[in-house]
């Protein structure tokens, strides 16, 4: 059995399925739910992800799809079947420019541009940030880009720009990973969202889980529900432009699409965020000139307006507090300037 993580984030079942791993249940195995069994044998997969795979018909036992409550028996042949051929996930170095903000023997901090995928996945097997890091560190004998004990400590979305930390050693990744898990890191994002806020700051709490109607999008569920994972976002108004607002978001947790889903949940989708409804004209005037203005804004910054502005952590070797700040990229800067001029002209 391979060590491939069960990941169906962007998969939809088709008639033709391909085998991605196969294993035989031990002879002495007592009956146990297959989702629990696979969690124990797939340490890089969550039980929720395994249940999603089963619900989608991707987990087969003895060549037949089963649900997550199926109880495995000795001699069962378990396979993961996906609707894409198995792809060699070996990470190869690629000569892609990197903006390295800081680097030493233990780690480096990178300012990722919008549009760059962080890690290889379905449909993006090269040209990623991980490939670029592998090239940057290709002369470092101790760094293996295919070793999960080193490398990226956290991720941001493809069309989100900003700061990420990379561990060069297993000790550095362990230390940084614990800091993220224990919520002792400091991360803030800047986002342009639709609508004006009544209050100057607030707190959003709601579990983040896969949207059952759209598997490429996350949904917010009640905190006391058993759906999704707990998530908390704090926000503060930075500037108001009438129909849109520039906010700072500070994360207590780091869930997939957390800021995007939380802002959508409270009625303030990120500007130009197509997946969460931000490419609709949600606030403002009905005039042709205003509609043309918004379309020009979308062209100026054709992605969700979200930037990982600051990143702080304790250095894994020295114990020193490390704090980094990155400037907005050109597209976001131009868009904010355009809104500032717009609201000034309205005064």
pLDDT tens string 205-253 = 999 998 888 878 899 999 988 888 999 999 999 999 999 999 999 999 8
C-alpha–C-alpha distance, residues 214 and 210, integer Å: 8
* Domain 18-82 class in CATH: alpha beta
Q: Do domains 99-182 and 186-345 have the same CATH topology?
A: yes
Q: Phi/psi at 44 (nearest 5 deg)?
A: -95, 10
Confidence of residue 15 (pLDDT cuts 50, 70, 90): very low
> What are the respective helix, strand and coil percentages of the chain, to the nearest 5?
20, 30, 50
pLDDT in tens, 176-203: 999 998 989 999 999 999 999 999 999 9
CA dihedral of residues 258, 266, 333, 124 (deg, nearest 10): 30
pLDDT score, position 88: 56
CATH of 186-345, one of 3.30.2350.10, 3.30.390.10, 1.10.287.470, 3.40.50.300: 3.30.2350.10
Among 5-9, 83-87, 160-164, 240-244, the least confident range: 5-9
pLDDT score, position 4: 41
C-alpha–C-alpha distance, residues 269 and 260, integer Å: 7
The pLDDT of 277-294, averaged and rounded, is 96
Q: Phi/psi at 292 (nearest 5 deg)?
A: -65, -40
Confidence of residue 127 (pLDDT cuts 50, 70, 90): confident
Domain boundaries, the chain: 18-82, 99-182, 186-345
How are beta strands 321-325 and 201-205 bridged, if at all? unpaired
CATH of 99-182, one of 1.10.3720.10, 3.30.2350.10, 2.60.40.10, 3.50.40.10: 3.30.2350.10
- Write out the catalytic residue numbers: 157
The pLDDT of 139-145, averaged and rounded, is 90
pLDDT score, position 22: 84
Q: Which of 134, 146, 42 is nearest to 88 (CA)?
A: 146
């Amino acid at each position: 059995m391979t060590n491939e993580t069960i990941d169906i984030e962007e998969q939809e079942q088709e008639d033709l399925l391909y085998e991605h791993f196969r294993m035989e249940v031990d002879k002495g195995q007592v009956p146990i739910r297959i989702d629990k069994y696979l969690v124990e044998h797939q340490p890089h997969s969550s039980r929720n992800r395994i249940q999603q795979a089963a619900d989608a018909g991707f987990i087969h036992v003895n060549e037949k799809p089963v649900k997550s409550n199926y109880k495995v028996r000795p001699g069962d042949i378990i396979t993961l079947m996906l609707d894409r051929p198995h792809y060699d996930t070996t990470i190869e170095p690629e000569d892609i420019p990197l903006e390295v903000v800081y680097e030493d023997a233990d780690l480096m901090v990178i300012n990722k541009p919008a549009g760059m995928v962080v890690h290889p996945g379905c449909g993006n097997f090269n040209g990623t940030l991980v490939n670029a890091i592998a090239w940057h560190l290709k002369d470092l004998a101790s760094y293996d880009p295919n070793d999960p004990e080193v490398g990226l400590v956290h991720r941001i979305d493809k069309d989100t720009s900003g700061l990420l930390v990379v561990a060069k050693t297993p000790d550095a990744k362990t230390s940084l990973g614990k800091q993220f898990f224990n919520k002792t890191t400091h991360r803030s994002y800047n986002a342009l969202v639709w609508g004006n806020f009544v209050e100057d700051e607030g707190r959003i709490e709601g579990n983040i889980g896969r949207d059952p109607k759209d598997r490429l999008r996350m949904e917010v569920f009640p905190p006391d529900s058993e759906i999704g994972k707990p998530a908390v976002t704090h926000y503060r108004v930075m500037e108001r432009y009438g129909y849109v607002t520039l906010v700072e978001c500070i994360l207590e947790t780091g869930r997939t699409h957390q800021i995007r889903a939380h802002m959508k949940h409270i009625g303030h989708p990120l500007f130009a965020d197509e997946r969460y409804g931000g490419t609709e004209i949600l606030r403002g005037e009905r005039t042709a000139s205003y509609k043309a203005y918004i379309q020009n804004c979308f062209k100026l910054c054709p992605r969700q307006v979200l930037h990982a502005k600051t990143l702080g952590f304790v250095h894994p070797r020295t114990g020193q507090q490390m704090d980094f700040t990155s400037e907005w990229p050109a597209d976001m800067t131009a868009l904010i300037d355009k809104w500032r001029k717009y609201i000034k002209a309205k005064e």
